[in-house]
């Protein structure tokens, strides 16, 4: 099983530990004034440096690949979670709007029914107009004079006059009734239009907020990826420095387990939010 860079012990990671014997040989050869042995030890040291640097690069490349893969997965999950949350909010908003519209329609229907009931209480009844009263008076006189045939004709004329007057009143009543119903219908249509315009405004605001949330989610992940890539590049530089500079090797010896980039913290926060 291959170990990641953070799982290798500090002494195993330090180039100086791997090159101790060759460096001692080179120092002894130098003191003994043996240039051939010193050159051979020097070449071995360079070879070990190169080999160790390659190993570090391979381990670091694998670690970085794994973390970039996890970050991509975290980005996808965060984006899906944001979209799902926004879809749920959109569904709730649509249901709320449908409920408000249904309540308005019910209120308007009650208003129309109450108006019709109120108007129908004023249906014209039989009203004795001037023409009817004159004919009735004439009818009464003819009855007293026992002119029954003429009285019958006058009575029929009086009934027709009464019916004509009642028809006129009914026509006026129906016109007034239709006018008031039409007026209320017009008001109700305007109320529905205003409510639907409010719904459209709410949907536009929601769409704007939804796009902003998705953009921020994607942008945060992009920033995390940039941080991670920058830190990864720096880590490769540090690996190279470990194989060159003794002070850097010794200075980093106690820090090999520490996080080497801000992107890792972003990754941890993202993964923690998924749990």
Alpha-carbon gap, residue 122 to 45, rounded angstroms? 115
Q: What does each of the 275 residues of the chain score in pLDDT, given as a tens digit? A: 444 444 444 444 444 455 555 556 656 656 656 566 666 666 666 676 666 667 767 777 787 788 778 878 888 888 888 889 888 999 999 999 899 999 988 998 898 888 888 888 777 766 667 787 888 788 888 888 888 788 888 888 888 888 888 888 888 888 888 888 888 888 888 988 998 898 999 899 989 988 888 888 888 888 887 887 787 777 766 666 555 544 334 444 444 434 444 444 554 455 455 44
pLDDT at 248: 39
């Amino acid at each position: 099983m291959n170990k990641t860079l953070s799982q290798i012990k500090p002494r195993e990671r330090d180039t100086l530990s791997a090159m101790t014997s060759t460096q001692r040989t080179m120092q002894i050869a130098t003191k003994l004034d043996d240039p051939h042995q010193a050159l051979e030890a020097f070449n071995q040291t360079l070879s070990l440096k190169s080999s160790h640097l390659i190993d570090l690069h391979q381990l670091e490349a694998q670690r970085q690949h794994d973390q970039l893969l996890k970050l991509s997965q975290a980005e996808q999950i965060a984006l899906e979670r944001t979209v799902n949350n926004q879809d749920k909010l959109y569904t709730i908003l649509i249901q709320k709007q449908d409920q408000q519209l249904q309540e308005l329609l019910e209120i308007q229907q009650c208003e129309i029914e109450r108006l019709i009931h109120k108007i129908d209480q004023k249906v014209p009844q039989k009203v004795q107009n001037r023409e009817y009263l004159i004919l009735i008076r004439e009818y009464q006189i003819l009855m007293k004079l026992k002119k029954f045939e003429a009285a019958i004709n006058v009575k029929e004329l009086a009934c027709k006059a009464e019916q004509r007057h009642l028809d006129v009143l009914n026509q006026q009543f129906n016109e007034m009734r239709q006018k008031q119903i039409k007026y209320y219908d017009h008001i109700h249509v305007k109320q529905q239009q205003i409510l639907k315009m409010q719904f459209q405004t709410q949907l536009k605001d929601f769409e704007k907020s939804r796009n902003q949330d998705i953009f921020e989610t994607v942008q945060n992940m992009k920033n995390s990826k940039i941080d991670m890539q920058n830190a990864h590049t720096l880590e490769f530089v540090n690996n190279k420095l470990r194989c060159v500079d003794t002070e850097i090797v010794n200075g980093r010896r106690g820090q090999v387990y520490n996080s080497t980039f801000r992107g890792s913290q972003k990754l941890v926060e993202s993964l923690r939010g998924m749990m």
